[in-house]
Amino acid sequence: MAVINVFLCILCLAAVLFYCYGIYAAIAFLNHPRLFNPKFHPPISILKPICGLDQDAYENFASFCQQDYPEYQVIFAVRDRQDPSIEVIQQIIQELPHLDLNLVVSDRIIGANLKVSNLSNAVGIAKHEILVIADSDIRVEKDYLFRIVQPLQDDKVGVVTCLYRSSAPGWVTTLEAIKTATDFHAGVLVSNHLEGIKFAFGSTIVIRKQVLEEIGKFEAIADYLADDFMLGYLPAQAGYKVVLSDYIVEHVLATSSLIDAIQRQIRWARCIRVSRPWGYLALIFTYGTVTSFLLLMVTGGSILGWSGLIIAWIMRLIMGWVVAIKVIRDQVSQKFLWIIPISDLIQFAIWCYGFIDGTIEWRGQRLKLIKGGKLMAMTNSTANSKSKNITSTIVQKFKSLL
């Protein structure tokens, strides 16, 4: 028991230090001087990979077509000619005939990641050197292009990416939004301040065509689940800077069931584990709300246990407030900041489960993650069996936590 107590104390202390540094990194990000040149506005091609209709699809798509920017092109890429998103895209094209809007429908596949195939099909008609890639569930304001392109004034910058704040229609998505705003983005800001980021997010990726060609085009990431991560990682390995923009985009979450949300979280957890195994393992040092609670339990409610829990929880809430409310300006976190300990407990359970197996469900596909984050197709019978086992086990664990 003494060894366990010491181990839990170390984990609690490490988490508190992480929370303190997260607060410091968030404040440094807010105070970092931004270079803005209103005369810098190179022409841009926006690539939008689409599969199905997300929540508020029309508003999301249209926001990228209504930019206060001199010259830009928008390319929507769809695989299936029966995809319901095509009707929405065609409506936008008809409503805005004066803009350079394009629809590419192609079932050409270059790898296991169908989203990357969409991007590869779209880039063929991209007219401009600067490419902007953004997921279909992202919404932006009219100054978006002006803001995100500014770091490219430095020729050493190869990629620009953005943080995001999520809408939350329902208690399940509220938990997801809280986790993203108060935990995930905190880790990003810590990484950004320590060594700069070497990855990107699907919320926004600004990349030069030249850089994309140097890393092997989209074919180089066609078999990876974390395509956004790789579009930052590979240019960083090639010697380019990856810059975190000060622009925060809107992530429009759809109403989600508990099972869908758990499967999505498992997918992300396993993706991180195979892409950055040591980084995934190191997450144990960030779960101070959980480890402090365990310390309280194993010490039988001792002064040490209560002290560790109070300090860890207070610092966790402060970090969550600074990152989510001051930096991200997230309205969901502002209303439900008190949910952080519950969110952390659920995420800790998913983190533990992420070490088991490597199967995922994604956009109707059942795939297996292999070393490095690559995807491998599975047979339907094997995938169905594994999927049922995963869902049943996780739901039972979640219910037991409640």
Q: What is the pLDDT of residues 186-235, one digit of tens each?
A: 999 999 999 899 999 999 999 999 999 999 999 999 998 889 999 999 99
Higher pLDDT, 261 or 30: 30
pLDDT reported for residue 390: 47
Q: Which two tokens stand for residue 62?
A: 């249209």
CA–CA gap between residue 233 and residue 258 (Å, rounded): 32
pLDDT reported for residue 164: 95
- pLDDT band for 73, please (50, 70, 90 cuts): very high
CA–CA gap between residue 369 and residue 277 (Å, rounded): 13
Written out in words, the top-level CATH class of the domain with range 38-260 is alpha beta
Higher pLDDT, 364 or 180: 180
CA–CA gap between residue 203 and residue 139 (Å, rounded): 9
CA–CA gap between residue 72 and residue 43 (Å, rounded): 5
The DSSP secondary-structure symbol of 361 reads: E
User: What residue ranges do the domains of the chain occupy?
Assistant: 2-29+265-401, 38-260
Q: Which two tokens stand for residue 167?
A: 């809408």
- Residue pair 380/369 in contact (Cβ under 8 Å)? The answer is no
Lowest mean pLDDT among 111-120, 289-298, 389-398: 389-398
pLDDT tops 50 at residue 104: yes
Q: Are strands 44-50 and 130-133 parallel, antiparallel or unpaired?
A: parallel
CA–CA gap between residue 219 and residue 33 (Å, rounded): 36
Q: Read off the pTM.
A: 0.88
The rounded mean pLDDT for the chain is: 89
- Cβ contacts of residue 117 below 8 Å, gap of 6+? 79, 108, 109, 110, 111, 218, 222
Higher pLDDT, 190 or 279: 190
pLDDT reported for residue 78: 96
- Residue pair 158/208 in contact (Cβ under 8 Å)? The answer is yes
CA–CA gap between residue 205 and residue 132 (Å, rounded): 6
- Cβ contacts of residue 216 below 8 Å, gap of 6+? 234
